[in-house]
Amino acid sequence: MSRISFFNIHRSWEDWVSMLAGVLIGLSPWLAQQQDNPAVFGNALLVGLFVLALAQLTYVGPTRWEEIGEIACGLWLIAAPFTFGYAEAGVLRYWHFLLGAAVVLIAVLELWQDRTPAIAPSPSKAPGDKPPSLPEAPIVSPML
């Protein structure tokens, strides 16, 4: 039962991991020591900022469009090495493949968790309490 509840409840650590991934995406050209191409550098910075902003919005109030935006950013980051021509050389392609896949997986997990709202018991009710019944009305006979 605990495995099932893991996939059904949106937790804040997922948003924090997405925020961290956004920061790592933005810093990835420096981490891979490949900041020589301005287009690649600008792309990584923009995608990192978008992922960071969408993750922060999801942390404040989860909605579907934010996770869909994160999925789009992650897929774009996976495709970026082929688009900008650095798929054959360098460590940056591995960074972008892995970080893009992580963003997509976390966003899909969050989207799965947000598909239906979790049904939580009312805090005013204790387990086993019966709902209040209506007071009984006196039976009035129409013959009187």
Q: Is residue 121 part of a domain?
A: no
Let me know if residue 142 belongs to a domain: no
Output the pTM of the full model. 0.68
Instruction: Quote the CA–CA distance of 144 and 136 in Å, as a whole number.
Output: 20
Cβ distance 110 to 10 under 8 Å?
yes
Tens of pLDDT along the chain (144 residues) come to: 455 554 445 566 778 888 899 999 998 888 888 778 888 889 999 999 999 998 888 777 767 788 889 999 999 999 999 998 888 878 889 999 999 999 999 988 888 877 665 544 445 555 555 555 656 666 666 665
- The answer to whether position 40 is within a domain reads yes
What is the domain range of residue 89?
11-113
- Per the structure, the count of domains in the chain is 1
Q: How far apart are CA 84 and CA 81, in angstroms?
A: 5
75-49-74 Cα angle (round to 5): 10
Query: Does the residue 28 lie in any domain?
Result: yes
